[in-house]
């Protein structure tokens, strides 16, 4: 074959290569466009879709806060554990006597406070109840009274005649007839938590403390508009000059949950009074293992108990639970059953409540009466 023919064939082959390249490129572009169009149509008609990211699981935290009143002599007067469960929309109140024994070292809460302050009491409560205490704070007598007075006090129906005269100040007198419905201000609530006026001794003081705190918390929810406007003020009252481990972050977190709960319209607080054995002359109190077990089971519950125990419903609250005779249902205990006619009511504070409270506080210049020497200056 001549060289001229070979050259013509090579030239012919080179001229076909660009044409083939154009065909291939056109085919690829067409396939890409068709694929994009197909995907668009499938998405548009929701035949396929973009996989959604899994939403993170949010765990709502519960809080065990411990509050302890320390009287004017620097002596531990009482202890209250308040468990707030935002998920269950419930608040559990556990009042405790300062004479309660820490089973690990056989020492009372009061003595442990003398030795190690609130941190020592925190450890003792954890040892005794088997629950972790998240935060703690001590309250003075004045702070204790102010918290109740902001909400107009509580309405209380005595299960028995309560009578005791003060030798120093008429404002500290206690005189309540059995079955009489009376309004108690902060000063009177304080006296009933520490003076030996109940027939069942110090157990009666502990039961009243639980009822008073339960009723106060439910009052905060019944008067949510006051609470919403005073959350920062309440925190200041509790933590000012207090032996506390609350910090700003702890407060902000609990405040956010509390504000959500306030919008629920519930009265979420119920009390659980410790059962156990008092020693002779009510010198020490040992909480029973059965109560500790029941408390742990109760703390594990998530469903709210609406009604607030013995707190009587106001116009905006839920009805009180009653027995078959229409009386408020009594809360049974093994150590000392509460009388069925013991009731407490929260009264809505009038618009002038705060102003009146401040005026009354200024007038009450005399300090609360401390208990006799045999009551360890409660």
Residue 368: the pLDDT is 43
Domain ranges of the chain: 63-375
Residue among 363, 372, 357 at smallest CA distance from 195:
372
Q: In what helix (H) or strand (E) does residue 362 lie, and over which residues does it extend?
A: helix 353-363
Q: Is 284 helix (H, G, I), strand (E, B) or coil?
A: coil
pLDDT at 311: 38
Q: What residues contact residue 299 under an 8 Å CB cut-off, 6+ apart?
A: 83, 92, 131
Question: What 8-state DSSP symbol labels residue 170?
Answer: G
Task: Say which DSSP state 103 is in.
Answer: T
Q: Which CATH architecture has domain 63-375?
A: 3-Layer(aba) Sandwich (3.40)
Q: In 3D, which of 187, 238, 194 has the Cα closest to residue 78?
A: 194
What residues pair up with 136 in beta bridges, in sequence order?
66
Structure tokens at 208: 């009243």
Strands (E), 158-250: 162-164, 174-176, 181-184
Could you give the CA distance from residue 116 to residue 123 in angstroms, rounded to a whole number? Answer: 10
Integer CA distances (angstroms), 102 to 69, 123, 193, 288, in order: 18, 9, 21, 12
Other C-beta atoms closer than 10 Å to the C-beta of 123 total 16
Instruction: Report how far residue 147's alpha carbon sits from residue 54's, in angstroms, rounded to the nearest whole number.
Output: 45
Instruction: Please report the pLDDT score of residue 68 as a whole number.
Output: 98
∠135-246-250 over CA atoms, to 5°? 85
Instruction: State how beta strands 135-139 and 154-157 pair.
Output: unpaired
Query: How far apart are the C-alpha atoms of 110 and 98, rounded to whole Å?
Result: 5
Per DSSP, helices labelled H in the chain are 3-44, 109-129, 141-150, 186-194, 202-222, 224-239, 248-262, 289-300, 353-363
Tokens 């506390």 -> residue: 244
| pLDDT in the model for residue 33 | 74
DSSP 8-state assignment for residue 328? B
What's the CA gap between 243 and 250, in Å, rounded? 15
> 90 with 305: CB under 8 angstroms?
yes
19 is written with which tokens? Answer: 């044409």
Euclidean distance between CA atoms 20 and 47, whole angstroms: 37
pLDDT of residue 24: 66
- Pseudo-torsion of CA 246, 237, 210, 119, nearest 10°? 30
pLDDT along the chain (378 residues), means of 10: 58 60 71 74 62 55 96 98 95 98 97 98 98 97 97 96 85 91 96 96 98 97 94 96 96 95 93 97 97 94 40 36 44 41 44 45 44 44
Residue 273's nearest CA partner among 340, 194, 338 is 338
Q: How far is CA 112 from CA 76, 116, 192, 297, 374, in A?
A: 9, 6, 24, 27, 19
Query: Who contacts 230 (Cβ-Cβ below 8 Å, separation ≥6)?
Result: 150
């Amino acid at each position: 074959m001549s060289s001229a023919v070979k050259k013509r064939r090579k030239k012919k082959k080179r001229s076909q290569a660009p044409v083939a390249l154009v065909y291939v490129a056109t085919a690829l572009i067409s396939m890409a466009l068709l694929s994009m169009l197909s995907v668009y149509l499938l998405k548009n008609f929701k035949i396929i879709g973009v996989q959604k990211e899994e939403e993170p699981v949010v765990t709502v935290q519960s809080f065990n806060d411990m509050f302890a009143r320390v009287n004017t002599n620097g002596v531990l007067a009482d202890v209250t554990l308040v468990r707030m469960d935002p998920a269950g929309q419930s608040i559990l109140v556990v009042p405790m006597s300062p004479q309660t024994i820490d089973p690990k070292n056989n020492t009372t809460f009061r003595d442990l406070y003398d030795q190690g302050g609130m941190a020592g009491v925190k450890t003792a409560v954890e040892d005794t109840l088997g629950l972790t205490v998240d935060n703690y704070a001590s309250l003075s007598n004045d702070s204790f009274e102010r918290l109740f007075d902001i909400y107009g006090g509580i309405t209380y129906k005595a299960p028995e005649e309560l009578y005791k005269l003060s030798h120093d100040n008429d404002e500290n007198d206690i005189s309540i007839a059995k079955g009489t419905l009376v309004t108690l201000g902060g000063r009177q609530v304080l006296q009933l938590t520490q003076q030996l006026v109940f027939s069942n001794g110090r157990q009666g003081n502990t039961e009243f403390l639980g009822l008073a705190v339960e009723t106060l918390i439910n009052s905060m929810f019944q008067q949510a508009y006051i609470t919403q406007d005073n959350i920062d003020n309440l925190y200041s009252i509790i933590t000012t000059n207090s032996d506390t481990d609350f910090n700003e972050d702890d407060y902000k977190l609990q405040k956010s949950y509390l504000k959500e709960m306030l919008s629920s319209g519930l009265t979420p607080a119920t009390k659980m009074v410790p059962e156990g054995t008092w020693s002779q002359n009510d010198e020490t109190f040992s909480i029973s293992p059965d109560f500790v077990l029941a408390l742990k089971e109760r703390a594990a519950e998530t469903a709210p108990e609406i009604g607030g125990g013995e707190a009587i419903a106001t116009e905006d609250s839920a009805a009180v639970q009653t027995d078959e005779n229409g009386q408020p249902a009594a809360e049974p205990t093994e150590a000392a059953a509460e009388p069925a006619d013991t009731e407490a009511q929260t009264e809505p504070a009038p618009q002038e409540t705060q102003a009146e409270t401040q005026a009354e506080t200024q007038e009450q210049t005399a300090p609360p009466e401390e208990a006799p020497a045999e009551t360890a200056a409660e």
